Structure 1
Amino acid sequence: MVQIFGHRGAAGTFPENTMVSFKACEKFRTDGIELDVQLTSDGEIVVIHDETINRTSNGKGYVKDFTLSQLKQFDFSNNFKEKVGFCEIPTLKEVFDWAQNNDFYINIELKNDKIPYHGLEERVINLIRQYEIEERIIISSFNHKSMFKLHLMAPDIETGVLYYRKKNEPWKLAEEFKTKAVHPNYKSITDEQIIETLNHHIAVRPYTVNDPFIMKRLIALNCTAIITDYPEIAAELVGK
């Protein structure tokens, strides 16, 4: 059955990359969540998509320039404050603590394609090892060299290459960087390419699929997973 991953949690109806958004996915009976990680100035792994906090919080500045305690002072409820109240930025450790009580898969996107966070790969792997949840983790990035580095460091942890420009043979991209999956923008991969990539034993998880008609098409193709802002809709379509 096609798996459903909540993109940054349930980002269509809850503040993205917050614990309230991840917990909503439990109610929606999804298979997993997708989230993004970066490093604070004091080396903590925090869950946030943008390199700055400008869009998603009531603060301004680069994630890398704040300590964790400073970031915890800002409200990340974004446009959902009336619905959920104050939301603090979560750490990856807090997500893993929560994940001890469920069987969710966690797709961790390393946001190291613009800012080369030194040691991000090592810190993420060490935390995964600490919690012993290797089998539930997929690590992805637009920084494909980082995925190759991860393969060398932790070949037992699944990795995936993210991309948004069309590729003639997506499975070759995965083979080049030793990943077990491709995570394309859904507009960047054809039905034929999905089938051929799956035939090469490479997982295919398109993002960000929010149109129910496109969801149905990808489900019919037996895609590995769909990454969506509206996991409640996708879960219903696959009969969860």
Structure 2
Amino acid sequence: MEVVEILVLAHRGYSHIYPENTMLAFRKALEAGADGIETDVQVTKDGVLVLIHDDDVSRVSDGTGRIKDLTYEELLKFDFGIKKGPQFKGEKIPTLQELLNLVKDKDILLNIEIKYGSFLYEGIEEKTYRMVKENGLMDKVIFSSFNHYSCHDLKEIDRDCKTGILYSDGIYKPYKYAEELPADAIHPYRLLVSRQIVDACHRRNIKVNVWTVDDFKEAKMLMDMGVDCIMTNKPKEMMEFLGVGKHGEKA
């Protein structure tokens, strides 16, 4: 069996078919054999770590309002499945703890993106880190963020925790930037990757994890470049096309 060094992570769970960032999408990603899950963490008004991409709930639920202005109990009143389809009615916003409970006994990678947008969640880095640490899952988790101060702060908390810098702009020599920060991985937008960047990262023991790749031919090109991981909304379909099984083993 040929070993291909690429992992397939389910972006917001198996979000191509199931409502994104819900426990259903996470479970279905694991059932599909994904190597891991990518998700987004934010903080409610009463300090609960919840998993949702937008800071406003209106796109993915039947409710309105910003996460920071709503309590967890208020969020539980909203339906986070109905907008994907009536068959998903009843899905609730998950907490980070619920996802950690799901993956505790699974051999997977969990990519937790610490969100920020028009405002910052004070203390979100340490709060997220502590929950992962207390659950004994540090070896399964990489923390990422577009806010590279968050990545820096996590390394200040624990030098050994794994971090990845998310970016969608053309950072010059991102491998040098990652070294300086420091970070364990770069998480570039899919069009910002080249063989030169991948090779330079690998010479420095820096991983290259690419988002969000749903085009199969593009994924094959990235795999041939040697990227370590692709994040996709279509984990099952992507793994079948690339001919890889769990943990990068070529079927």
Q: Same fold by TM-score, threshold 0.5 exceeded? A: yes
* Contact 1:159-1:179 at 8 Å conserved across structures: yes
Q: Which runs of 5+ in 1 are unaligned?
A: none
**Is residue 177 of structure 2 the alignment partner of residue 173 of structure 1?**
yes
Question: SS of the residue aligned with 1:80?
Answer: coil
Q: 2:204 aligns with which of 200, 203, 206?
A: 200
* Alpha-carbon spacing, 1:78–1:157, altered in 2? closer, same or farther (3 Å): farther
The CA distance in 1 between the partners of 2:211 and 2:228, in whole Å, is 12
Cα offset, 1:78, TM superposition? 4.8
> Contact 2:195–2:226 at 8 Å: present in 1 too?
no
Q: Distance in 2 between matches of 1:199 and 1:139?
A: 22
Pairwise CA RMSD: 1.2
1:27-176 pair list within 5 angstroms? 27-176=31-180
Whether contact under 8 Å (2:10, 2:233) holds in the other structure is yes
Which residue among 237, 244, 247 is the counterpart of 1:239? 244
Taking the aligned partners of 2:177 and 2:167, their CA distance within structure 1 comes to 10
- TM-score normalized with structure 1 length: 0.96
Aligned counterparts of 1:238 and 1:198: Cα–Cα separation in 2? 23
Q: Could you tell me how far 1:190 is from its partner in structure 2?
A: 2.1
Cα distance per residue 1:20-50 (max 9 Å; x no partner): 0011111211110000000000000000000
Give the corresponding residue for 1:217.
221
Aligned residue-pair number: 240
SS at the partner of 2:84?
helix
Quick one: which amino acid aligns to residue 217 of structure 1? M
Query: Which moved further from structure 2: 82-91 or 67-76?
Result: 82-91
Deviations 1:43-78 (A, max 9, x none): 000000001001111011100000001101101115
Instruction: Measure the CA separation in 1 of the matches of 2:210 and 2:185.
Output: 10
SS of 1:10's partner is coil
- Runs of 4+ aligned structure 1 residues displaced above 3 Å come to none
Greater shift, 31-40 or 171-180, is seen at 171-180
Gaps of 5+ in 2: 246-251
Cα displacement string for residues 69-90 of structure 1 (whole angstroms, at most 9, x for unaligned residues)? 1101101115323232211000
Specify the SS of the correspondent of 1:79.
coil
Counterpart-to-counterpart distance in 2, 1:222 and 1:126: 33
Asked if the contact 1:134/1:156 (under 8 Å) is kept, the reply is no
What secondary structure does 1:34 align onto?
strand
Distance 2:80 2:105 in 1: 24
Give TM-score, length-normalised by structure 2. Answer: 0.92
* 1:86-121 superposed Cα distances (whole Å, 9 cap, x missing partner): 110000000011112312211000002432101101
Q: Distance in 1 between matches of 2:91 and 2:153?
A: 34
C-alpha distance in structure 2 between counterparts of 1:78 and 1:202, whole Å: 40
Work out the CA distance in 1 between the residues paired with 2:36 and 2:243: 14
